[in-house]
Structure 1
Amino acid sequence: MMANLFSSFDPSTNWNLSLNWTSTMLGILVFPLSFWLIPSRLGLIWMKITSTLHKEFKTLLGPSPKGLTILFTSLLMLIMFNNFLGLFPYIFTSTSHMSMTLTLALPMWLSFMLFGWINNTIHMFAHLVPQGTPPVLMPFMVCIETISNVIRPGTLAIRLSANMIAGHLLMTLLGNTGSSLSTYLVSLMLTVQIMLLVLESAVALIQSYVFAVLTTLYSSEVN
């Protein structure tokens, strides 16, 4: 029952190629050329958003290499774009799968850890024991901090994919029961689904922001 329920989110096509994953970059192809060349209101709004994100990430990162905020802003835009694209009917939501979210989280976390342990080894060792920890608890705190660092990419990936698939699954369950309901209940169900769609739009924005901010905080810890 549950396997069949979640199989509706699997990337499958009539051919032997998983063409559903092309939705990850599909929206870039439909942008008009004038968006890249001619200043417009949409372009100005986009630049305003990226400028605000740059300032916020710069505050979180502190003294960091120049241009690092571009990485996190691009990450936020990529996740937000795929989250919103998945709200349209018959479009595959790539961010609801661990193969996508873990691909984003694991290389970022691994690069931060390698950079920190190679360049700031003493700082990374000191970070394993919080300031003010009693000597008796230090071995336990090292184990706890190590485990919390190791599971970070998994928590990032699971948080994003679980939040994205939860709303889609609820809307799918409501839609499947529509054929057996009366006219009054169908209208009520449509109202509930519209409210869920608005909620999913907010979740799509919030989860992309949370993913980018947490990645930024993990980066600032190794500097």
Structure 2
Amino acid sequence: MMNNLFSIFDPSTNILNLSINWMSIFLSFLFLPYMYWLIPNRHFILWKFIMLKLHNEFKTLLKNNYFKGSTFIFISMFSFILFNNSMGLFPYIFTSTSHLSLSLSMSLPLWLSFMLYGWLNNYQQMFIHMIPQGTPTILMPFMVLIETISNIIRPMTLAVRLTANMIAGHLLMTLLSNTSSIIPTYLIIIMIFIQILLLILESAVSLIQAYVISILSTLYSSEVN
């Protein structure tokens, strides 16, 4: 039962032992460069408005660390995660963000680059972040240990947060759809209504998770002074 349930996340479609499911990642790029072949329409104007709002918000979070173009990486991450989350809501399209292999490949290099830059260029400020202001002397070793552990697990928490949220919603929709064959006919309409509500909820989760991960990544980078 459980193996069949989680098989919806298994990249099983392959040709010559090459997993074709992961090609769904590149579907998101079809929605990005409107300006190269389309006259700016309402969709493009809305997307540009969202990008400008994100740019201003990330610029505020970065504070003194902001320089021209520094928000592009976080806006790109937001766009990439949002489009891949949304692609996974369509039937027969592989949900790539429900796998740790993708989410970790984004969060781990980003966190590692922040850490290397911070410790190599401003190690005194990095040590200051290990001990919160006003910490009693006797608690300082414990605070350093706790802060070190929390810092090390940051990429894992980012990856697991995205993966777990995408898996949870898809599993719930799959469980409900599997029961449609055994429920009475008059309950089918109620089941369809519940599935529509879940689909709307998953659409909101796709947007919220992309926003949360990009915001947290920006906050982590702002600590590297």
Q: Structure 2 stretches of 5 or more lacking a match?
A: none
Whole-Å Cα distance in 2 between the matches of residues 114 and 104 of structure 1?
A: 16
2:166 to 157, 161, 164: 164
Identical-pair percentage = 64
Partner residue, 1:12: 12
Give the drift of 1:8: 1.9
Contact 2:14–2:20 (CA<8 Å) still a contact in 1? no
TM-score, scaled relative to structure 1: 0.95
* Corresponding letter in the other structure for 2:19: S
* Cα distance per residue 1:130-180 (max 9 Å; x no partner): 100000000000000000000000000000000011000000011111111
Partner residue, 2:44: 43
Q: Structure 1 stretches of 5 or more lacking a match?
A: none
Whole-Å Cα distance in 2 between the matches of residues 167 and 180 of structure 1?
A: 22
* Corresponding letter in the other structure for 2:8: S
Give the drift of 1:31: 6.9
Contact 1:11–1:21 (CA<8 Å) still a contact in 2? yes
Query: CA RMSD of the aligned region, Å?
Result: 1.5
* Corresponding letter in the other structure for 1:123: Q
Whole-Å Cα distance in 1 between the matches of residues 165 and 118 of structure 2?
A: 30
Give the drift of 1:36: 4.4
Contact 2:88–2:95 (CA<8 Å) still a contact in 1? yes
Give the drift of 1:107: 0.4
Whole-Å Cα distance in 1 between the matches of residues 167 and 89 of structure 2?
A: 11
Contact 1:35–1:43 (CA<8 Å) still a contact in 2? no
Whole-Å Cα distance in 2 between the matches of residues 120 and 141 of structure 1?
A: 20
Q: Does 1:190 align with 2:189?
A: no
* Cα distance per residue 1:178-203 (max 9 Å; x no partner): 11111112111111111100110110
Aligned length: 223
Contact 2:84–2:97 (CA<8 Å) still a contact in 1? yes
Whole-Å Cα distance in 2 between the matches of residues 138 and 155 of structure 1?
A: 25
**Stretch of structure 1 that moved more, 34-43 or 63-72:** 34-43
Give the drift of 1:5: 1.7
